[in-house]
């Protein structure tokens, strides 16, 4: 059994996994181990392998912490579109996400912008994500749903509004959704 992102599992799920572990081997992968698992690895209860190098051809992601500035946002989105890249714009409030999309559309009128959040139907989300994958959308305004394994190689920029409202592990996980080309 291969488990990715163990911290996303609840106690009941972990108990079920423990029952299954007697008959199978388990490989747990994560960039953000939970403290208990990390401790078990350090004291030798669990084996641990560490990958110190990024995948081949992956450049380090540059992170900037800035105050909200419409001009910086406009410039970042425009620059990414000019180089045929795409942008994740994380806005973690479902009730205002459509308005935020509209604000960004007015700020960067040439951008093709859509929004996505976890309260949408599976079919709606799938359609939007397929449009993003097929490069029919330049910017996707979304909630933290993007932290759950979305891998879009062409998405090189992520803008996180109100990053101070997210946890450090969550920000690290979200940061891993972009690549530097």
Q: What is the pLDDT of residues 8-63, one digit of tens each?
A: 677 677 777 777 767 777 777 776 666 777 787 888 887 877 777 777 777 777 88
Can you tell me the distance from the alpha carbon of 130 to that of 170, in angstroms, rounded to the nearest whole number? 24
State the pLDDT confidence band at 64, using cuts at 50, 70 and 90: confident
Q: Where is pLDDT greater, at 11 or 165?
A: 165
Given a cut of 70, is residue 149 above it in pLDDT?
A: no
Given a cut of 70, is residue 180 above it in pLDDT?
A: no
pLDDT of residue 134: 93
Q: What is the CATH number of domain 70-175?
A: 3.40.50.300
Burial class (CB in 10 A: 0-12, 13-18, 19+), 37: middle
Asked whether the beta carbons of 24 and 32 are under 8 A apart, the reply is no
pLDDT of residue 52: 76
pLDDT of residue 22: 73
Can you tell me the distance from the alpha carbon of 97 to that of 67, in angstroms, rounded to the nearest whole number? 20
Q: How many angstroms from the chain centroid is the CA of residue 158?
A: 9
Q: What is the pLDDT of residues 97-128, one digit of tens each?
A: 999 999 999 999 999 999 999 898 889 988 99
DSSP assignment, residue 105? H
Q: What is the pLDDT of residues 80-96, one digit of tens each?
A: 999 999 999 999 899 99
Q: Could you give the residue range(s) of every CATH 3.40.50.300 domain in the chain? A: 70-175
């Amino acid at each position: 059994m291969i488990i990715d992102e163990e911290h996303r599992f609840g106690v009941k799920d972990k108990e079920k996994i423990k029952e299954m572990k007697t008959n199978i081997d388990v490989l747990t992968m994560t960039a953000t181990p939970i403290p208990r698992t990390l401790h078990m690895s350090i004291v030798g209860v669990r084996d641990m392998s560490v990958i110190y190098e990024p995948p081949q051809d992956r450049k380090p992601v540059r992170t900037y912490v800035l105050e909200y500035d419409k001009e910086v946002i406009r410039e970042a989105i425009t620059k990414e579109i000019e180089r045929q890249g795409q942008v994740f714009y994380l806005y973690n409030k479902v009730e205002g996400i459509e308005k935020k999309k509209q604000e960004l559309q007015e700020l960067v009128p040439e951008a093709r912008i859509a929004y996505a959040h976890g309260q949408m139907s599976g079919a709606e989300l799938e359609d939007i994500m397929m449009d993003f994958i097929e490069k029919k959308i330049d910017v996707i305004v979304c909630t933290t749903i993007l932290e759950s394994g979305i891998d879009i190689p062409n998405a090189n920029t992520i803008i996180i509004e109100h990053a101070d409202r997210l946890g450090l592990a969550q920000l690290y996980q979200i940061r891993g959704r972009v690549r530097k080309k």
